[in-house]
Amino acid sequence: PTVRAEGDSRTIEGYAVVFNQRSEVLWRGSYGDVVEEMEPSAIDSELLRSSDIIACLEHDRKRMLSRSRFGKGSLTLELDAKGLKYRFDAPNTTDGDYALEMIKRGDIFGSSFAFTADESDNDCVEYVMEGDVVVRKVKRISGLYDVAMVANPAYLGTSVGSRSVEETAKELGALMERSQPEALKRPPQAPTEEELRRAKQMQEDIALLRSSL
C-alpha cells in the first residue's frame, strides 16, 4: 500500500498493514532469509476499538500527526480484505506540512506499524521454513500502537505505510531462535563472509550509537 496526498487537500491516507503479502527480507541469518507475513486474523475491529493508536512520522511519537483513542479521534482506521487502511487530515504544524510535502514529492511513500504479539504462542506467531526462507506468520497481535509514515517500509505493498526494515531487523533474529527453535527444521549453516561482514558492521554501528547516548 502507498500513502497518498493529492492537490491542495491535506488528507493523507494509505495502508499501514497489508494481509497475505510477504515483506522485504528483514533478516539474513544462518537459517536463511527471514520474511514476515500478516494474516487477516492478526487484526480485528475489537482491537482497534480498544487501542490508543497514533499516526506519526518514522515511529517518533513526538511527531504525532493524528490519533485514534479507543475508536474515536482524528485518525480513521478501516479494515478491509486488503489490510488496515488509515486516513487523517494533516495538522497545520511543521510536521504536518513536512509530511504533506514529502509524500507529494514521493520521498516518503510507505507506511509502517508498531505492534506486539506473543512469540511463544503458535496461535499468534508461527515460523515456517520454506526452502531457504523462514516465514514469520503473524496470526494475531496483542497490541497496535502506531501507524507511521516511513522512508523505508518493510512491505512495499504498504502505502504511506509496515514496520521499517531497520526496526524489525534489530529484533527478529534473536526472537526467531529463542521463541520457536523447533520451527527451523534444518541445522544452522556456517555464516557466509557477507553475513560476517554485515554482523561486524552492525556491531560497529551499535557501538557508535551507544557512544553518542
- Residue 153: pLDDT over 80: no
- pLDDT band of 87, cuts 50, 70, 90: very high
Whether residue 31 contacts residue 136, with contact meaning beta carbons closer than 8 Å, is answered with no
Q: Give the span between the Cα atoms of 151 and 115, in whole angstroms.
A: 19
Whether residue 98 contacts residue 5, with contact meaning beta carbons closer than 8 Å, is answered with no
What is the pLDDT at residue 147? 94
Q: What is the pLDDT of residues 95-132, one digit of tens each?
A: 999 999 999 888 888 888 988 888 888 899 998 888 88
Whether residue 16 contacts residue 161, with contact meaning beta carbons closer than 8 Å, is answered with yes
Q: What is the pLDDT of residues 2-16, one digit of tens each?
A: 455 666 789 999 999
C-alpha cell at 170: 534489530
Helix (H) or strand (E) holding 28: strand 27-29
Give me the mean pLDDT over the 183-192 stretch: 53
- pLDDT band of 205, cuts 50, 70, 90: low
Q: What is the pLDDT of residues 28-85, one digit of tens each?
A: 766 678 888 999 999 999 999 999 999 999 999 999 999 999 999 999 999 999 999 9
What is the pLDDT at residue 1? 35
Q: Give the span between the Cα atoms of 197 and 193, in whole angstroms.
A: 6
What is the pLDDT at residue 161? 28
Q: Mean pLDDT in the chain?
A: 79
To the nearest 10°, report the CA torsion of 55, 57, 59, 63: -80
Give me the mean pLDDT over the 146-168 stretch: 61
Give me the mean pLDDT over the 148-166 stretch: 59
What is the pLDDT at residue 162? 30
